[in-house]
Chain A
Amino acid sequence: MPSRTAPAAASSPPGTPDSPGTPGTPGTPALAKDGRAAERSLGRRLLARPEIGALIAAVAVYAFFFSVAPAFREASSLATVLYQASVMGIMAIPVALLMIGGEFDLSAGVAVTSSALMTAILSFQLSLNVWTGVVVALVFSLAVGAFNGYLLIRTGLPSFLITLGSFLVLQGANLAVTKIFTGNVASDSISDMDGFDQAKALFASEIGIGGVDVKVTVLWWLLFAAAATWLLLRTRFGNWIFAVGGSEDSARAVGVPVTFTKVALFMGVGAGAWFVGMHLLFSFNTVQSGEGVGNEFLYIIAAVIGGCLLTGGYGSAVGPVIGAFIFGMVSQGIVYANWNPDWFKAFLGVMLLLAALVNLWVRRQATRR
């Protein structure tokens, strides 16, 4: 029976949620030296939310593109931006949770491609109903996540190194395995197989909302964000995530199951990779084995813009949603405004730095005595 006390308060910054049943703000307001009032003003409490800086940035970016690019104002353009953001954002959520838990996953980008290839090749080669492939791919993706987590716990090596290894292994395996089975560098099309249409409806359909086609991934993305927020703020597991990210040793000392938490977080990234992989497969019928490389950094960028700290122990599930939305706005907005796309990466880098600085400033404001 684990205790219901909030994890080591010394290591938890303001804004860390309390487990249900523990009243009061984090920290120890009982000390006379602490000048903070027990009841902080609403503004202060808002500022203490990890995603508030990103929200300010998102509003600014939206207003900016709204004013410079007429095409950006159309509802259909917003649907395009949201779609781009959702494909990245679905992955950014578990990646952000993992970062709050104090770890990285560099294999997240190619894991998406691996999962999609698994389904495509298995279904095609054995002429199975595609749902079989979908389920096997889920098991595979979870296993990759579990393997990463297990290796991390057993070896004590930094997750940066371990997942760099699995990233390279997966990247090579994607290409080699695809080539063995198809003689080609892309998987065979599975669009005429049993179950494809049902799977497409689930993972890659479009829904008409007010005369605009919105991709179903946008809805999934928001649903997953809501679920992750509930998990993080309203469950014991959420507390464990903050605890292991804040200080692993303190967490272990107060009875938090560190191994379980970290392995589960890596498996969460696996589940996200599976979902996005399925979406790509069922919207495009085939998978290119070389894709996905480099996307792992985009997920991390979305989480960082959304207010997650690289050191762990701080962040939210709403943050990466806003971070991915900013990324989608910038990447499509540059095209809507017809700017020179050569500048895209430079612009993205500036955005990232600005977002990180805004986050830092907001956090300073929130923790000012």
Chain B
Amino acid sequence: MDRTFLPCSRRFAPAVAAAAAAALLVAGCSSGSGGKKAAEGTADAPAGKAGTPRMKVAMITHGGPGDTFWDLIRKGAQTAAAKDNIELVYSSDPNAATQANLIQNAIDQKVDGIAITLAKPDAVKSAVAKARQAGIPVVGFNSGLSEWKDQGLLEFFGQDESVAGEAFGEKLNALGAKRAVCVIHEQGNVGLEARCAGVKKTFKGATENLYVNGTDMPSVKSTIAAKLKQDGSIDHVVTLGAPFALTAVQSVADAGGKAKVATFDLNKDLVNAVKAGDVRFAVDQQPYLQGYLAVDSLWLYRTNGNVSGGGQEPVLTGPAFVDKENVDAVATFAAKGTR
């Protein structure tokens, strides 16, 4: 029982019951297609449970709340935790100072292991050093490929954003793209900048960055559409997150251009867009795998002293390309919300 909800008193029971009754009433007028019924039976992968002693692992990320990508990481981490008899303490904050504080929080809790993202490596440096002084093993994942070793982390799971960007650029070359625009949905995010820089490095055509406000989808849509209208020669829109790719598809339709959309990262709806041909391809860094491996590796280290990559090399989870050829294989897992 490690499902974490707010402690709920008996007083809420009548309210819950009333809500359930209302739900039953609504069920009377049900839809014949789609909806939750169609999605049922797609729960997380069933897994056994290790007989090792109970452990507590803290996972601290820089993800914003309500982001599909970070949700996948969290699901992977939860699956590994359930298997390994681990109590998982997940917390996240995009702000560097707060992230450092959350690491301190985990040290205060005397956890058995910490998994962190090094999006802002300098900011969490001293907190990581403190964790190591306290004898807590720390692993890195998702971001911080060039810093994890300097900070003395045990292992690292993720993809190199520049490498992924370079692979993306190669793929654009193969598709015969001439002019691309790289949509950055969060100004000041190092990882996103690295992706676009990687694309620029290998892409033989011309590319430029377009900054949009990722927290406001309508403005994302209109900004991309305006850019496409202003420059009719753009033939590829590169987005850095699945929700933005789907928005870009709408922008292309609005602008009436011939531009194609390609993107970094996946989610359920994006797989369908690849199937339908709206999005040409996606680069998947397999966030579920990152979260899973980060937690599982701490369990392995604690129970058997294993260190993936021997503390020398990172474990890469991407870039994996998803396009029309292999999308069907991915689709079943994406439908379950785990890829």
Question: A residues bordering B, Cβ < 8 Å?
Answer: 68, 71, 74, 76-77, 80, 83-84, 87, 174-175, 184-186, 189, 280, 283-286, 288-291, 331-332, 335-336, 338-345, 347
Question: B residues bordering A, Cβ < 8 Å?
Answer: 4-7, 65-66, 87, 89-92, 95-98, 100-102, 104-110, 120, 122-123, 125-126, 186-190, 193
Closest chain-B Cβ to A45's Cβ sits at a distance in Å of: 37
A77/B122 contact (C-beta < 8 A), A175-B188, A290-B188, A341-B91 known: no
List the count of A-B residue pairs having beta carbons below 8 Å apart: 93
A7 to B102, CA, bound (A): 46
Query: For residue A342, which residues in chain B have a CB less than 8 angstroms away from its CB?
Result: 65-66
- Whether the pair B122, A76 counts as a contact (CB closer than 8 A) is no
- Whether the pair A339, B4 counts as a contact (CB closer than 8 A) is yes
Query: For residue B126, which residues in chain A have a CB less than 8 angstroms away from its CB?
Result: 283
| From A74, A174, A284, contact of B122 by CB (8 A) | A284
- Whether the pair A185, B97 counts as a contact (CB closer than 8 A) is no
| Main SS class of interface, A | helix
A345 to B5, CA, bound (A): 14
- Whether the pair A80, B105 counts as a contact (CB closer than 8 A) is yes
A336/B105 contact (C-beta < 8 A), A185-B190, A289-B188, A290-B189 known: yes
- Whether the pair B193, A332 counts as a contact (CB closer than 8 A) is no
Closest chain-A Cβ to B78's Cβ sits at a distance in Å of: 11
Query: For residue B102, which residues in chain A have a CB less than 8 angstroms away from its CB?
Result: 335
Output the residue of B100, B104, B105, B187 with the most chain A CB within 10 A.
B105
Closest chain A residue to B120 by CB distance?
A288
A340 to B186, CA, bound (A): 25
- Whether the pair B89, A340 counts as a contact (CB closer than 8 A) is no
Closest chain-B Cβ to A279's Cβ sits at a distance in Å of: 9
- Whether the pair B101, A185 counts as a contact (CB closer than 8 A) is no
A sample of 26 cross-chain residue pairs with beta-carbon separation below 8 angstroms, ordered by A number, consists of A77-B108, A80-B104, A83-B101, A84-B98, A174-B188, A185-B188, A185-B190, A186-B188, A283-B97, A284-B96, A284-B123, A285-B125, A286-B122, A288-B96, A288-B188, A291-B95, A332-B101, A335-B106, A338-B87, A339-B5, A339-B6, A339-B7, A340-B5, A341-B92, A345-B65, A347-B6
- Whether the pair B89, A338 counts as a contact (CB closer than 8 A) is yes
- Whether the pair A76, B108 counts as a contact (CB closer than 8 A) is yes
Output the residue of A185, A285, A286 with the most chain B CB within 10 A.
A185
